[in-house]
Structure 1
């Protein structure tokens, strides 16, 4: 039987977050967002951002880029459109309401796909990554910025102790970096090439998954 996901419930939750999201996260996420945008731009100009939200990452993309942003929440997207207009972000093109597991783009449309702080919130992360793989050009990269739980060692035990506090701010330690590696291993052309720590003190990670030519 097919798994049913509460997308409408997610939309309602995002609608509540939309007015205050920037105030809560703008400084905390800035380092990871800036590095994700720069990494994507090095892959080529055509970039898809999955989970664009209120558009916090949009100003960090270089002006030579052509950025398309999608999000499940229309309330979040309205904030992103406001940023695009107010800040004259000419590098930003289409901003559309769309399910990450059902992207309305042709195969091999983008040089890079950025996924800033959303992969752990998607009800079907592997399904969303499958769609990103489909629309990504050979040689391109999926760049994931997220809180990823440690697979083992002392950090894992610390995270388990802090799990209730982490959950209160909307993150989870349940999503491990190994889950991205396991997903990439399904494909002959996908490879996790880097997992690097970003501010604050490596709490967040930036993951680069390359689509190799086969």
Structure 2
């Protein structure tokens, strides 16, 4: 592992950093560096789930052309990222296996309203938080990684940043009214998930618990 002069602030746009309610705890970064195989396995899982989420939205909301276009693009990119992570794992001798999901995405989706159009707005806001947090975590890790993985994650910062922007744009577009209160609502739940002790390490897990 290495350390460079790069920082989260230099790698990410100010708007994305302002959107997130808190930064990733340093203890999570330390846990990630101590569990490189698990980090890659869960990263692959996250890319696959992101593609699945995009496809689910395409099937459910066929009457929204803009959403269909953006989610189709997003699903293709996420599946490409999945393939790239699996290839990196193979090259590094990391065996891809099933692992349980973190509480993060489920913890946010727990607060999604049940009926449309409110449900769609909430799902899109949650998607924006997941993508923004992914970007921030890639940026946190980049200064400590070997050149190959750091280069790969820099590329992901750019693409996941676009995904965050697309989710947020779609939420505003289909809401037809200000959504700042709803964003703030989910931001507080996101903060709690990131800052609270977490018994398992995953890409989106919270504060690592002492062994």
**TM-score, scaled to structure 1:** 0.27
Task: State TM-score, norm by structure 2.
Answer: 0.27
Which structure dedicates a bigger proportion of its chain to helix?
Answer: 2
- RCO greater where, 1 or 2, for CA within 8 Å and sep 6 or more? 2
